Chain A
C-alpha cells in the first residue's frame, strides 16, 4: 500500500469513528433522568417531595386523580363515580372492578385500610388529611366500607367536600394499597413500612421492580392493570444529579425525558434538534418573607415598603426563566377564585416615603437569608441591590436548607428569600393554609408547617375567612370569599410577598406522544408512546 493510500484509509477510518452513533432508547422502554437525592423511601405514607410523587403516580392509584390540564378538576380513578351527601358531610365513592398487581381484587376495605394506615403512621403525607380534622383516633368513624365496592368518607369537620375529594387525588395521602399483600410483610407492627420502602403494592399501570438508592428505579408493566395497556413495558428512572449530564444524554437520545434540567441547559435545549420542552405551573411561589417577631416588621407600612422594593419584572426576566413566572397573589395560577395580579411594581421612592412614615427616614439594616443554591443566591443578591435603593441595607446570609428554613421554623430570622406556599392540592385553601393561616401565634404552639406561624403573622379576620371559605359549599359565595381574602391581603400586607410562581420544566424527545407534565407532580407515563 502506498503512503498516500494508507493515509487516505486512516483519514477515512478516523472520520467513521468520529461520526456519532446515535443510539436511540428502546422502543418499548421509557428512560427518564432525574435526581433521586430526595428519595428516602417509596412508601406512599412516608414520601416527601416531588420526585417520589413522579415515580409513585405510575405505581399507585387513588380513588380519583388530579387533572393535569384543568387544575380545578379531578378525574375518576379507582372510583368510577362519587356522590356528596346533601348536608355535605359525607362522600360515597363507588369503586370500579380492578385488581392489584398481585392479583388481589381492589376492595373498599383496602381503601379504608390505606387511609387508616396513613393516619396511624402519622408521617409526612398524613398532614394533608390532618389539616381537615382527620386523625388516627377518629379514623374508624371517618372511613367505612359498607360493601366491597363502596367507600364512605365522613368529614370530621365542616369542609367543602370538593377539597377532600381533591386531597384524595394526591399521590401519597390518596394512594390505595393492597392491604393483604402489605400485611403479609409486616414486621413488628410497622404496617409494612419497612417492606414498602423498597417494594410496591399498587394497582396502577406499572409495578416497582427495583429501587437502588441514588442509582435507579425500575418500573415494569403491571400485567393485571385494569386500564388501557401502556405502550411502554418498562420505565427506567435514572439518577443523574448533574443537569449538564442530563442534557447531553437527552441530546444523544440516551434519555427520553429529563426532569431536572437547570435553566441554562433548558435555554440551550430550546434550539436543540429533536428535543422539546414543556413548562407548566407547579406548586408554590418564590417569595420575600419578613419576621414579625422583629418589631420593625410589625408595622404594616414597613412591610408595604418592602412590597415596592421588589423588582418583579427584573427578577422574573433576568433570574427566573424556567424557575418561575411573575405572580403576585398568594394563590396558584389556574386555581379557583384567583384574582388578577394587583400589578405592584418596583418603586423605591414610594418605599422610602412609607419607611419615613413608619419612623425610618434613614432606612434600616437587615439580614436577608437565602439558600446558597440557584436561584436563591442570585435572587438575594439582586434583592439586596433593590432594597438598598429604598434605604434598606441588607446583609445576605446563605446556607443549607436546615440553616435557612431551619432559622425560619425557629422564628429566628429577619428577612428571607424562599420558596413554598402549598399548591400540590389544587385549591386556594392549600395556598392559604401554607402561607397565611395561623390559628395560634404563641411560641409554644410550634405550628412550623404554617409559614404564617413562622413569620409570626396573625390576623384573626383572615383566619376566620380562610376557615369559612374552606367549608363554603356554594360556588359563587366561595369565589367571593377568596376575593375578599385577596383584597384583605392587599390591605394588611402579610409578611410573605410572592413575586413569582414556581414552574416545572421538562425536556423530552420529540418522538414522545401523550406526555403531559402534571402541575401536582403526578405525571402519568402510562399514556406515553413513541412515534418512530
Chain B
C-alpha cells in the first residue's frame, strides 16, 4: 500500500515537472515571437535585398504557422535534438556545454564566498541583535543588495585591477595563456590542474576571484538576512535558555544547538541563491567579459535565436527543479521528522 502511494506520488511529481517545463517552453516561445527581434535580419544584415531575406526566412522555417513551428520544435526536443544556434551555427547543446562550465565555475566560487560570508554575518547579527555589529552587518548587507552589480563591478575593476593591479581584468585568463591548456572539462581551473599548468591555474583564479567575490557579496545580502531571522527564531526558544542555564557557553549553544536546527532552511536558501547565480550573472559577465551562460542567453535573445533561448530556459527550469528536489532530499537527511 505504502509502495503504491509512493509510486503515485513519484508519478505525480514527474507529471508536474513535465507540465511545468512544457508550460515554460510555451511561454518562452510566445514571448520570443512577440519580441521585436528578427533573426532573419540578424543573419542577412541591413542592406540585404528582399529575395535574400525571404530565402533565409524560409530556410529557418519561419513561413510556417506558429503552432506548427512550436510542435516541430517540441518533437525535436523529445528526440533529443535541441536545434542549431543561429549565432554560432553549432548545435545548441554543444554551445551550452561550452559556456556552462565558465558560469558553473564562477557561480560555485561565488556561492562558497557568499554562503560563508552570509551565514557568518547572519549568525553574528542575530546574536548581537540591535547592537553595533548587527547594525554594521545590516548596512553591509543592505549595500550588497542595493548597489547595482554592474556599477560595483566597474568600481571594483577600477580599484583592484586598474589602480592596485591585484587581480586580472576581463576574461577568464591572461591572453598569453589562451590556447595553452587542452580543454578537457572546459572548467579552466580543473583543466589547468590536470595539465599541471599551475601558472595558468593561478592566472584563472586571479581573473575569477573578483567577479566571484562581487557575486558572492551580492548573494550574501539575502543569505545574511534570512540566517539572521532563522537564528532569532531559535534563540528565543526555550531549549536555548535551558542550554545556557545548564552552563553551555554562548558559542556552544549557538553553533552546536541553534545552528543545527536552521541548517535545513539554510540549505534551501543557499540552493536558491546558487540557482540564481547559475541562471546567469548577466551583468557581471558583461562587465568582466566572462563568456558564460548569462551572456549566451541574453545575446541570443537579442537576435531572436529561439533554439538557443528555449534550450537555455529549459535548462534553467531543470536546474531550479533539480535544486528544489535536492533541497527536499537534504531536508530528509537533516530533519528526521520528515522521514
Contacts and interface: CB of A to CB of B under 8 A. Distances in A.
Contact of A238 (B37, B52, B56, B171): B171
B16 to A, nearest CB: 35
Interface string B38-74: 1001111111111111011000000000000000000
A126 B48 CA distance: 8
Contacts of B287: 242, 245
A240 B175 CA distance: 13
A248 B162 contact: yes
A102 interface: no
Contact of A248 (B36, B98, B161): B161
Given A194-B89, A215-B291, A252-B162, A406 B38 contact: yes
A49 interface: yes
A246 B170 CA distance: 9
A198 B44 CA distance: 18
Interface stretch (A13-21, A350-358, A377-385): A13-21
B311 interface: no
Interface stretch (B125-133, B189-197, B227-235, B295-303): B295-303
A244 B296 CA distance: 21
A236 B296 CA distance: 20
B255 interface: no
Interface stretch (A159-167, A178-186, A396-404, A484-492): A396-404
A7 interface: no
B161 A123 contact: no
A218 interface: yes
B144 interface: no
Contacts of A209: 179
B286 A130 contact: no
Contact of A21 (B47, B50, B165, B296): B165
B92 to A, nearest CB: 12
Given A40-B43, A218-B179, A20 B162 contact: yes
Output the residue of A25, A31, A238, A399 with the most chain B CB within 10 A.
A238
B46 A252 contact: no
Interface in A230-249: 236, 238-242, 244-245, 248-249
Contacts of B175: 25-26, 29, 31, 236, 238, 254
Interface stretch (A81-89, A106-114, A141-149, A446-454): A446-454
Given A22-B165, A238-B171, A254-B175, A49 B51 contact: no
A237 B299 CA distance: 18
B7 interface: no
A126 B47 CA distance: 10
B291 A239 contact: yes
B164 A17 contact: yes
Interface string A207-231: 0011011111010000000000000
Interface string A18-55: 11111101100101000001001100001011000000
B95 interface: yes
Given A37-B299, A406-B36, A29 B289 contact: no
Contact of B166 (A17, A403, A422, A434): A17
Nearest to A195: B89
A254 B207 CA distance: 13
A251 interface: yes
A376 interface: no
Interface of A: 17-23, 25-26, 29, 31, 37, 40-41, 46, 48-49, 122-124, 126-127, 130, 194, 197-198, 209-210, 212-216, 218, 236, 238-242, 244-245, 248-249, 251-252, 254, 399-403, 405-406, 420, 422, 434, 446-449
28 contacts: A18-B164, A19-B165, A40-B89, A48-B45, A48-B46, A48-B48, A122-B51, A124-B52, A127-B52, A130-B49, A198-B89, A198-B90, A209-B179, A212-B98, A216-B171, A218-B179, A238-B170, A238-B175, A239-B289, A241-B286, A242-B289, A245-B289, A248-B169, A254-B174, A402-B37, A446-B50, A447-B50, A448-B53
- 4 closest residue pairs by CB, A with B: A48-B45, A20-B165, A215-B291, A197-B89
Given A23-B174, A48-B43, A402-B38, 20 more contacts: A20-B163, A21-B165, A40-B303, A48-B46, A48-B48, A49-B45, A123-B48, A124-B44, A238-B171, A238-B175, A238-B289, A244-B157, A245-B288, A251-B162, A252-B161, A403-B36, A420-B46, A448-B50, A448-B53, A449-B48
Interface of B: 36-38, 41-53, 55-56, 86-90, 95, 98, 154, 157-158, 161-166, 169-171, 174-176, 178-179, 286-289, 291, 295-296, 299, 302-303
